[in-house]
Chain A
């Protein structure tokens, strides 16, 4: 008998244990074939059976080799709890179970000598969210009647672009007593108040990315919802850059500048201007940490779009070489504005942090009138890959930070001049309309969301450590992988249909929320419409406390 080594990793050290019932298993092999992590494997067990064939007990024994499924005892191929085995098992013979005694954070670091990297979400503080402690409490009544969500018309659009203060509008009064424009004003696009957040074509599978782009085009052209999609860092296919669909895309330039070479080269061939440019300084889910695309996901088409070899691709935490808001960001803004001849709004995305109000305060001064938006991303946002320690332990929730930025603008009398867009865990419970509505009441002009889009596509991950393997290139549902076999599990048409349907439902829900407070346009800054039963939340956000 082999000597037992107690330091060996066993399923009891891992975050998930496989529940397996050999008596129900027909050995069809579906689960093993479907497990993208190779966390389960077939094994042959030697079984002893005692039996008697005579009238009186005459025990005999028989040995046989029995094939079974067992969990891999490996720190590399550990079970992520995605539950695909359970999904494909025809007999309910197998499935993952959360192991509350897991030693995963310790053994992984001990054996690997490296920090844990994970995709997905922060896995701490699964408590009630601040947004769930808020309710829409101002219900219009007899004096200020509510509107009829079915009968009345609503303006569900949000600005993206630099908005001039009224006294700076280049207007003069013409001879007929009409206002006439005397000069050019910065470009402003009025778009749907929910932007599909920045997820790159490397982070997502090509089918997933295509499905989102398809849904965006459908929402615009068939449903009349001017939804915009952000490309994420990493560029986009040249064919798309040259197509008319570019007008629905916000091009992101992050610190790695991946893909911008091809974008710059495609500029002369563009038939449409992009919807905007988003300069990503930081992301909420890993503030101060760089974006990470693991080599496993750098497929050939990613290499060609980004112009890189198959290697881990790191977007540094900040645009290298930019050391002050005043000089550097303005310089960037000027160059991107100039590249598109001041026809395309340029916005900036930062992580919600103790310092984001300072950045915002700097930007609202904006003497060149070129800051087209302030995107603020909170800790509850998702990410393709990050060190677990930064994912779980750094960052700032979005709600109070967004509120701080809005109130900073109010203090200066500059609210709305640089549109505020917020994200980070919005729609976590599945109700994006409610979350977005509350964020708008607190001062956001609009919101953006990425993780929820993945949920719409069928992502099985959650905030309690389920799956969260976006970094491995082994996404079991084909959303965040470039493995052809896995990508083919995703049905892009179905994904696009889900996204479109979700947006249509959400649009209706927005109206159902706007009608009772008597609003026919978005409730930006209407914090009087919100109440909280939590005194601390009410005080912090400066809204009405009720009990």
Chain B
């Protein structure tokens, strides 16, 4: 079973906090990997929030191919940050030769373009890079988006932390929202892309659990959007559904739950909005999920949320202090990060509920 966690704070937080959050839950995962997505970046990226940052793990050749493609498309590099790695012997890590975080300026003719247009360009570029680097596993492009970086690695999370010097907090590499998971994929092939969290156009999702409607979801999603690719893990479907419902259909977040875990017909009949709920249930039947799972997600405006399957078969807890909210599979993770909080205010989300945390750390709970 996976263990997942997320931190959202008014202050910039270092990834060491995410490692701590996950470490205390290590009996619940198998130490086979560590992955995280950071939104709302601080440190060296703080001044470049409006420009897209590429998160790439690659070979030397892969780096050249990627940069050539971006330059050919008119992107110009404004910042490159290569984390200092600590390649000491004995570390359990299956590292790529290069980890590159590069911030680019848009091509000239895009600089005055609509936001939406830029967002489509960034997606197309990422897809293009991914296709180009797939050959001989030259590289893995995790995200190419403003104010977001992604790190994924195979190995023991503690050693991965050591390798990237993530145990020592500093103020160079920080973010206000960090989501993390400590495990490689187990359902399908072990590939770097398969590790949670998954990212698409400002949306991040990670999950603890299974998606028994994986095949149905995949068959439907493949045709829905060009960005819905890969499907290395059944949990990727949760991200794509989130993206589809919130961005493509433009529906408020609360309807995400109505899509993935629709209310039973009996309950729908009793609702005032039954026409809408029934229409959602029937039109989006192929995006329903039936497996046991807990999902944590981040929206482009950095809203953090969590929800569970319809029967609440996977655990999740939300803990809060004045300036930080932590979501974790197990409460011990929160204890590690927020030892002094009032644990009586912890939220154990209901099976028919979305708990959402906005940028002012206001917590909203929507009963489905």
Q: Which of B215, B249, B255, B283 contacts A164 (CB 8 A)?
A: B283
Closest CB-CB distance, B228 to chain A, in whole Å?
11
* Residues of chain B contacted by A413 (CB below 8 angstroms): 220, 222-224
Q: Which of A143, A173, A178, A526 contacts B250 (CB 8 A)?
A: A173
Using a Cβ–Cβ cut-off of 8 Å, how many residues does chain A contribute to the interface with B?
41
Q: Which of B214, B262, B283 contacts A166 (CB 8 A)?
A: B283
In the bound complex, how far is the Cα of B281 from the Cα of A190, in angstroms? 11
In the bound complex, how far is the Cα of B38 from the Cα of A386, in angstroms? 70
In the bound complex, how far is the Cα of B209 from the Cα of A82, in angstroms? 56
A197 at the interface (CB under 8 A from B): no
In the bound complex, how far is the Cα of B283 from the Cα of A159, in angstroms? 10
Do B286 and A152 have beta carbons less than 8 Å apart?
A: no
B291 at the interface (CB under 8 A from A): yes
Do A518 and B212 have beta carbons less than 8 Å apart?
A: yes
Closest CB-CB distance, A36 to chain B, in whole Å?
46
B20 at the interface (CB under 8 A from A): no
Selected interface stretch from A54-62, A180-188, A388-396: A180-188
B288 at the interface (CB under 8 A from A): yes
Q: Which of A164, A410, A416, A520 contacts B279 (CB 8 A)?
A: A164
Within 8 A of B (CB), among A496-547: 517-521, 524-528
A51 at the interface (CB under 8 A from B): no
B81 at the interface (CB under 8 A from A): no
Which B-chain residue is minimally distant from A170 (CB atoms)?
B279
Q: Which of A145, A155, A415 contacts B286 (CB 8 A)?
A: A415
Within 8 A of A (CB), among B233-265: 244, 248-252, 254-255, 262, 264-265
* Residues of chain B contacted by A519 (CB below 8 angstroms): 212, 290
Do B252 and A167 have beta carbons less than 8 Å apart?
A: no
Q: How large is the interface on B (under 10, 10 to 19, 20 to 34, 35 or more residues)?
A: 35 or more
Do B215 and A521 have beta carbons less than 8 Å apart?
A: no
Do A518 and B282 have beta carbons less than 8 Å apart?
A: no
Do A144 and B1 have beta carbons less than 8 Å apart?
A: no
* Residues of chain A contacted by B264 (CB below 8 angstroms): 153, 155
Closest CB-CB distance, B244 to chain A, in whole Å?
8
Do A415 and B292 have beta carbons less than 8 Å apart?
A: no
Q: Which of A169, A521, A528 contacts B283 (CB 8 A)?
A: A169
In the bound complex, how far is the Cα of B280 from the Cα of A181, in angstroms? 11
Q: Which of B212, B222, B283 contacts A163 (CB 8 A)?
A: B283
Which B-chain residue is minimally distant from A166 (CB atoms)?
B283
In the bound complex, how far is the Cα of B290 from the Cα of A497, in angstroms? 35
Do A528 and B276 have beta carbons less than 8 Å apart?
A: no
Interface of A is mostly: loop
Do A144 and B210 have beta carbons less than 8 Å apart?
A: yes
Q: 1/0 contact trace for A88-118 toward B, CB 8 Å?
A: 0000000000000000000000000000000
* Residues of chain B contacted by A525 (CB below 8 angstroms): 215-216, 219, 286
Which A-chain residue is minimally distant from B1 (CB atoms)?
A143
* Residues of chain B contacted by A400 (CB below 8 angstroms): none
Do B249 and A167 have beta carbons less than 8 Å apart?
A: yes
Closest CB-CB distance, B235 to chain A, in whole Å?
12
Q: 1/0 contact trace for B125-142 toward A, CB 8 Å?
A: 000000000000000000
Do B212 and A140 have beta carbons less than 8 Å apart?
A: yes
Do B265 and A416 have beta carbons less than 8 Å apart?
A: no
In the bound complex, how far is the Cα of B286 from the Cα of A547, in angstroms? 30
Do A177 and B254 have beta carbons less than 8 Å apart?
A: yes
B317 at the interface (CB under 8 A from A): no
* Residues of chain A contacted by B254 (CB below 8 angstroms): 177
A171 and B276 in contact (CB under 8 A), knowing A415-B219, A525-B219? yes
Within 8 A of B (CB), among A133-155: 140, 143-145, 147, 152-153, 155
Do A145 and B313 have beta carbons less than 8 Å apart?
A: yes
* Residues of chain B contacted by A179 (CB below 8 angstroms): 251-252, 255, 273, 276, 280
Do B291 and A144 have beta carbons less than 8 Å apart?
A: yes
Do A180 and B216 have beta carbons less than 8 Å apart?
A: no
Closest CB-CB distance, A143 to chain B, in whole Å?
5
Do A518 and B291 have beta carbons less than 8 Å apart?
A: yes
Do B250 and A517 have beta carbons less than 8 Å apart?
A: no
Do A520 and B223 have beta carbons less than 8 Å apart?
A: no
| Among B216, B223, B313, residue most surrounded by chain A Cβ atoms (within 10 Å) | B216
Closest CB-CB distance, B350 to chain A, in whole Å?
16
B213 at the interface (CB under 8 A from A): yes
A165 at the interface (CB under 8 A from B): yes
In the bound complex, how far is the Cα of B310 from the Cα of A155, in angstroms? 12
A157 at the interface (CB under 8 A from B): yes
A178 and B223 in contact (CB under 8 A), knowing A166-B284, A188-B278, A518-B290? no
Closest CB-CB distance, B207 to chain A, in whole Å?
12
In the bound complex, how far is the Cα of B215 from the Cα of A190, in angstroms? 23
A52 at the interface (CB under 8 A from B): no
Closest CB-CB distance, A421 to chain B, in whole Å?
15
A412 at the interface (CB under 8 A from B): yes
Closest CB-CB distance, B277 to chain A, in whole Å?
9
Do B265 and A157 have beta carbons less than 8 Å apart?
A: yes
* Residues of chain B contacted by A163 (CB below 8 angstroms): 282-283, 285
Closest CB-CB distance, B353 to chain A, in whole Å?
16
A165 and B283 in contact (CB under 8 A), knowing A155-B264, A178-B273, A190-B265? yes
In the bound complex, how far is the Cα of B288 from the Cα of A519, in angstroms? 11
* Residues of chain A contacted by B283 (CB below 8 angstroms): 163-166, 169, 416
| Among A144, A153, A190, A519, residue most surrounded by chain B Cβ atoms (within 10 Å) | A144
* Residues of chain B contacted by A178 (CB below 8 angstroms): 252, 273, 276
B311 at the interface (CB under 8 A from A): yes
| Among A147, A171, A173, A188, residue most surrounded by chain B Cβ atoms (within 10 Å) | A171
| Among B209, B212, B265, residue most surrounded by chain A Cβ atoms (within 10 Å) | B212
* Residues of chain B contacted by A520 (CB below 8 angstroms): 290, 310-311
* Residues of chain A contacted by B290 (CB below 8 angstroms): 518-521
Q: Which of A143, A171, A185, A527 contacts B215 (CB 8 A)?
A: A527
Which A-chain residue is minimally distant from B276 (CB atoms)?
A179
In the bound complex, how far is the Cα of B262 from the Cα of A157, in angstroms? 13
B124 at the interface (CB under 8 A from A): no
* Residues of chain B contacted by A166 (CB below 8 angstroms): 244, 249, 283-284
B168 at the interface (CB under 8 A from A): no
Q: What are 18 A-B pairs with beta-carbon distances under 8 A?
A: A144-B212, A147-B311, A153-B264, A155-B265, A166-B249, A166-B284, A167-B248, A178-B273, A178-B276, A179-B255, A188-B282, A190-B278, A518-B212, A524-B285, A525-B286, A526-B213, A527-B215, A528-B214
Known: A166-B283, A178-B252, A528-B215. 16 other contacts (CB 8 A): A144-B210, A145-B292, A157-B265, A159-B285, A164-B283, A167-B249, A177-B252, A178-B276, A179-B255, A181-B275, A412-B223, A416-B283, A517-B212, A518-B291, A525-B286, A526-B212
- Which 7 A-B residue pairs are closest in the complex by CB-CB distance? A413-B223, A144-B210, A528-B215, A518-B212, A177-B252, A166-B283, A525-B216
